[in-house]
């Protein structure tokens, strides 16, 4: 199945474009999605994990490895 997305700048024309698309042979579904219904972009700074990480940085609970070997030694002991 293929999906075609049409952007119509004038919302008043959306219903007419939908009707025209429904008349095309082989079209099984036509949906109208208004621009204000689009979900906002994902903002990682609002997540709990990000806030915890920033708290760790603020409290000094970070480790700066000198090299990859240093990092592995710290992790693996």
Distance CA 42, CA 58 (A): 24
Which residue numbers in the chain have pLDDT < 70?
35-40
- Mean pLDDT value across the chain: 87
What would the pLDDT profile of 37-52 be if each residue is shown by its tens digit?
A: 556 678 889 999 999 9
Whole-prediction pTM value? Answer: 0.41
Residue pair 74/66 in contact by the 8 Å Cβ criterion = no
As given in the structure block, the two tokens for residue 51 are: 């806030």
The alpha carbon torsion through 15, 17, 20, 24 (nearest 10 deg) reads -120
Tell me, what's the pLDDT at 40? 67
> Which residue in this structure is represented by tokens 């603020």?
58
């Amino acid at each position: 199945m293929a999906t075609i997305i049409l952007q119509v700048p004038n919302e008043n024309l959306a219903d007419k474009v939908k009707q025209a698309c429904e008349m095309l042979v082989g079209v099984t579904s036509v949906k109208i999605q208004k621009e204000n219904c689009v979900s906002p972009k994902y903002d990682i700074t609002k997540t709990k994990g990000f806030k915890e990480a920033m708290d760790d940085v603020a409290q000094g609970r970070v480790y700066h490895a000198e090299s990859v070997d240093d990092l592995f030694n710290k992790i693996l002991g």
